Amino acid sequence: MNAPDLKLVVNKTDPTAGQPQGGESPLGGQRPASAAACGGSRFHESARAQVAGAATYIDDIPEVRGTLHAAPVCSPVAHGTLLGLDASAALAVPGVRAFISAQDIPGDTTLAAFAHDEPVFAQGTVQFLGQVGGLIVADTVMAARRAARLVKWNVQTLPAVLSVLEAHAQQSYVLPPVHVKRGDAQAALQRAPHQLEGTFEVGGQEHFYLEGQIAYVLPLEQNQWWVYSSTQHPGEVQHWVSHALGLHNHAVTVECRRMGGGFGGKETQAGHLAVWAAIAANQLKCPVKLRLDRDDDFMITGKRHPFAYHYRAGFDDTGLLCGLQLEMLANCGFSADLSGPVADRAIFHADNAYFLEDVAVSSYRCKTNTQSHTAFRGFGGPQGVIVIERILSDIARTLGLDPLDVRLRNLYGIEERNTTHYQMKVEDNILQPLISQLALTSRYRERREQIAAWNAQSPVIKKGIALTPVKFGISFTATLFNQAGALVHVYTDGSVQVNHGGTEMGQGLNTKVAQIVADELGVPFERVLCTAADTSKVPNASATAASSGTDLNGRAAQFAARTVRNNLAAFVAGLDGVGAGSVRFEGGQVITEQSTRRFEDVVGAAYANRIQLWSDGFYRTPKIHYDKTTLTGRPFYYFSYGAAVSEVAIDTLTGESRVLKVDILHDVGHSINPAIDIGQIEGGFIQGMGWLTTEQLVWNDKGYLQTHAPSTYKIPATGDIPAHFKVDLWPEANREDNVHGSKAVGEPPFMLGISVLEALRDAVAQAGGQPEAMNAPATAEEVLRAVAP
């Protein structure tokens, strides 16, 4: 198959169309008539520094004199009774200072995770191959790593549970099963004119962040600690470290200026490294840095949860679903971590864009002797969406219908058929017009006919095409996390500093927050600086996750800036004898009917008159609630929507495949920064495509992860980008009162990658194969097996 020419086509609607056009703020002062920062494509705030190599990551921070380096001591077996660890050979290596184990933990020897089921270091039992039993601390990184491999494990081996099906058969679970139902699925299946039953599995996914896991811990005076952590959740790292050291939270400060990628892998599991380094630093009374090399990162940290499914679907002659019984088995690894909410979100998104009238979903959170799987972009949503998309495609093939028509037949309605299986009403439904527009602009129907003609005359290369949508709920499903705080400081020269509880991992959060604050104060974007996430500034912050970073932190920063603006508006109103509501802030000026002043002049005068020039802001997401015992209620503030058309080709002799064309129409509300949003859509789609095509995790029968390096684990590369890659933004604002009318963008596009898998299955079907037999990822071997079973 010849590689197509690489052309990137990116379209977007006018980013200023329909943007708020000013007016009086409910708290005083006027917004600018045209937004100066929001709605425009601004450079990422760190872009120039990153390109120049001047952006500081944790391993770039100058090391304090006396800093030592730690390396993990990892279990060589997947399951067994731990009888002891012999570090004598390691301690004899020049430069090695200490072996740190569970006996050196001054606080709780179990991590402060919500399930309280994961030891800091392996004790009594080894539960996966790669589990950390202790640390070697040395003068240099390489001395520590070499010595760590010399520690001898005395383990009495036990049988290991390595597959989710085996775990389910043994009722080996990290958490109790959860069942959600509506109506009578069994009766509906019996009444249905047609039935379809199937099983399949979808693999996990390695986060493969460019910056690996790292922590650098410095002791301060009076048993206080400063922790540099590459983490999406500094507050949790603070809690975990203080818990392990036996201290109150206020004794530990965690800072994160930026991460080199996270994708969910640094939501909880960054805490492990910080705890391990802190224990070593406490024992040795000196700074300790712990940075995993890529192989150890693979072997120690959790992945996206692999899932296995069994379903029975009933449907009529038009493809309308009549009833569905669905069983989902989540491979959680050896501990709970975030498996409960991940599996819950898979339940929430098992409907995707479709109304399920009579449905029963059973979710089993299975315990295996592998790494403890964790958050990953989509957080269980992709594992829910993929199953309903597969079912609808198979229904269409069974009936000889176009899969798009079956999807359209089952969409949520507006006035009826508009309530989810967890009892949330879908109030902002744009699925029908969005999908119809994409089908038209991508020429889906015409291309489907062309592909059929191609396949009729091409004996070896077969093509396929699929259009799949996404409806993704935005909010943490744990309601308490839907809150955020921020600080805005205006200095006497008119410059502005912002600190908020979110973390920057390359997604552009700080850039968007700076845009929001700039517009609120009416100053140029360049005058606003966002600083490092810091638990001593904004306490108890939620993780930067669930695609809610801008929704929460941007709104909190906006409220803080608004308070300062109102203080200035009242001051200027007093000077000019006008109403505070008539004072305008725009273009770096403060304008009334009587005068126009530079922003910095107003700030200087306000300071001289003892006017407060800083404020905090707090935001809590409205309307959300749900019963976590029944998984019913309104867990999400709103939904984000999108759809993708993917065209692929497969080689029926080798199983190799290529994505030829991708057209995406995605809903981001009124985009705060179209360039960043389109980048997130592109990156999310490609990452989702990788999950379902090339990124295969393979454990052998001993529990050893064989795909633990770039040589064996293949993420998409530049050559995998489709020749035609077109992204459009849906122009409508968020119907809920979200910051600047925007919508979240981090996770929803990931699920558009499912269109690639469905297009591959379509190609397999057109080759006369068995697409219903395919698992994911659809590697060349998997495609070949389905084409020639």
Task: Give CA–CA dist 648/780, Å, rounded.
Answer: 13
What are the two backbone dihedrals, phi and then psi, of residue 532, each rounded to the nearest 5 degrees? -60, 145
Residue spans of alpha helices (H) in 118-233: 141-148, 164-169, 185-191
Given a contact cutoff of 8 angstroms between Cβ atoms, the answer to whether 745 and 675 are in contact is: no
Q: How many Cβ atoms sit within 10 Å of the Cβ of residue 456?
A: 9
Q: How many Cβ atoms sit within 10 Å of the Cβ of residue 571?
A: 18
Is the Cα dihedral 536, 537, 541, 543 positive or negative? negative
Given 255, 389, 695, 747, the catalytic residue: 747
Q: How many helices (H) and strands (E) does the chain have?
A: 20, 31
Task: Give CA–CA dist 464/660, Å, rounded.
Answer: 10
Task: Give CA–CA dist 557/517, Å, rounded.
Answer: 7
Read off the tokens for 508.
């552009």
Three-class secondary structure assignment of 672-728: CCHHHHHHHHHHHHHHHHHHHHCCCCCECCCCCECCCCCCCCCCCCHHHCCCEEEEE
Task: Give CA–CA dist 429/641, Å, rounded.
Answer: 8
Given a contact cutoff of 8 angstroms between Cβ atoms, the answer to whether 287 and 253 are in contact is: no
One-letter identity of residue 533: A
Task: Give CA–CA dist 170/179, Å, rounded.
Answer: 19
Encode burial over 313-339: b for 16+ CB neighbours within 10 A, e otherwise: bbbeeebbbbbbbbbbbbbbbbbbbbb
390: Cα separation from own chain's centroid: 23
Ranges assigned E (strand) in 420-578: 461-474, 483-490, 496-500, 528-530, 533-534
Burial label, 221 (beta-carbon count in 10 A; 0-12, 13-18, 19+)? exposed
Q: Measuring CA to CA, which residue among 490, 520, 487, 518 is closest to residue 501?
A: 487
Encode burial over 109-122: b for 16+ CB neighbours within 10 A, e otherwise: ebbbbeeebbbbbb
747 classed as catalytic: yes
Structure-token match 């530990």, residue found: 252
Task: Give CA–CA dist 757/128, Å, rounded.
Answer: 31
Is the Cα dihedral 676, 679, 685, 690 positive or negative? negative
Strand partners of residue 68? 288
DSSP 578-628: S-GGG-EEETTEEE-SS-EEEHHHHHHHHHHTT---EEEEEEE-SS-EEET
C-alpha distances out from residue 671 to 534, 558, 694, Å: 28, 16, 32
Task: Give CA–CA dist 157/675, Å, rounded.
Answer: 53
Catalytic residue set:
747
